Amino acid sequence: MSETYTNRRGIYRSRDGVILGVCRGVADFFDISVFWVRLGIVVVFLLSGFWPVIGVYLVAALLMKPEPVHSFENEDERVFYDSYANSPGNAARRLKKKFQDLERRIRRMEDTVTGREYEWEKKFNASS
């Protein structure tokens, strides 16, 4: 069985959070209870006032990428997800280039297999 790739380097907004998932995402990243993170937010809210906490919370929600729906199997999947979450256009261009490279390779293989030289080489190797 393949073990799923766990990523401890990134911090993501949780999809199960109450308000935008920031507190649960921070709690998951630091491996602490979400209760303590929320309690810390409420204490800072009471000590500093309404606007600074709400502003920081909204900025954090905008900067944090949403948690992936499925866990990553390897590093390549994590890199692709991060590139897609940061820039969907770049991810689409990477996919297009990858498929163009694959198509080019398949065409070369097809040309080799259907060419005359391949038939002669096949016959020569069969008679040896």
C-alpha span between 96 and 111 (Å, rounded): 22
Q: With 50 as the cut, is the pLDDT of residue 1 above it?
A: no
User: For position 9, what pLDDT does the model report?
Assistant: 59
How is residue 4 annotated by DSSP? Answer: P
Instruction: With cut-offs at 50, 70 and 90, classify the pLDDT of residue 109.
Output: confident
Percent share of the chain, pLDDT over 70: 89
C-alpha 105/C-alpha 42 separation (Å) is 58
> DSSP string spanning 84-97?
HHH-HHHHHHHHHH
Q: Give tens-digit pLDDT for 49-103.
A: 778 888 888 888 888 878 766 677 788 877 777 777 767 777 778 888 889 999 9
Residue 2's pLDDT is what?
Answer: 37
Structural domain spans, the chain = 1-86, 90-128
Q: What is residue 72's predicted lDDT score, i.e. its pLDDT?
A: 72
Please tell me the predicted confidence (pLDDT) of residue 36: 93
Which run of H or E residues covers position 35? helix 34-48
